Amino acid sequence: MNGALLILAALQMAELPGGEVRPLYLSKNSPLLQVAPFRMDVTPVTNRQFADFVARYPHWQKGQVPALFAEHDYLKHWQTGDDGWQPEEAALHSPVTHVSWYAADAYCKARGKRLPTVAEWEFAALASELAADGSHEPAYTQRILSWYARPSTTTLEAVGQRPANYWRLHDLHGLVWEWTQDFNSTLVTGESRGDSSLDKGLFCGSAAAGSADPSDYAAFMRFGFRSSLKAPYTLGNLGFRCAQER
């Protein structure tokens, strides 16, 4: 895509009809999660979009965010210039990374949107290029796993370069991991008192035993990654996109 098309794609949202998602940690006989119809950004939020946001809300600019809401590496890849901290020209259309959950949440809310829930994200990401559920396509699953196995790179390509999936969404796999609204809700017993004593260090063993489909390693890795996050974290391979009710 050229620059104009990339900007247009970044502003678009896709309409998803909703449906059902099986929570990873429940058995095959457990009820499926119902996902209501929703909208989702066609591409991850770009550095250019986030730069426009911090220009309007300077308290989210690099160097202005309290440590409670973002780690020291917040927007570490941006450069200083005449207009303050800005992304490099070559990275304007790449997904913004080194942003905390708090910053991502604030961005979405400023646009009348919100971060997608885990269930919404998983529903959207289940689609291949040809079907709403690509989990039974070996080549599609292998492509996702191959990306997970590759080391992270400091240079990210522009959004929207890969084919869209069945729902017209780009880059849910293959570019960056993405924040979700309830990223830290993956280890839940359903009893509030019991939840406080969960040992998240036992994630791998307990999750493998309780997974609805232990062979679904791609989803397992996503849930494992989310369970390791804390809201102030700012990682070079972690971006976000927004969602909205229909």
pLDDT tens column, 56-66: 999 999 999 99
The pLDDT of residue 17 is above 90: yes
pLDDT at 185 over 90: no
Mean of pLDDT over the chain: 83
Is residue 148 pLDDT above 90, yes or no?
no
| Percent of the chain whose predicted confidence (pLDDT) is above 90 | 61
Task: Return the CATH number at 48.
Answer: 3.90.1580
The pLDDT-based confidence of 142 (bands split at 50, 70, 90) is confident
Q: How many domains does the chain have?
A: 1
Which residues constitute the domain of residue 72?
A: 3-245
| C-alpha span between 176 and 148 (Å, rounded) | 10
What's residue 23's pLDDT?
A: 74
CA 131 to chain CA mean position, Å:
21
pLDDT at 205: 37
Cβ(206)–Cβ(109) under 8 Å? no
Partners of 19 in the β-ladder: 35
Q: What's the average model confidence in pLDDT over 82-95?
A: 89
Q: How, if at all, do strands 177-178 and 238-239 pair?
A: parallel
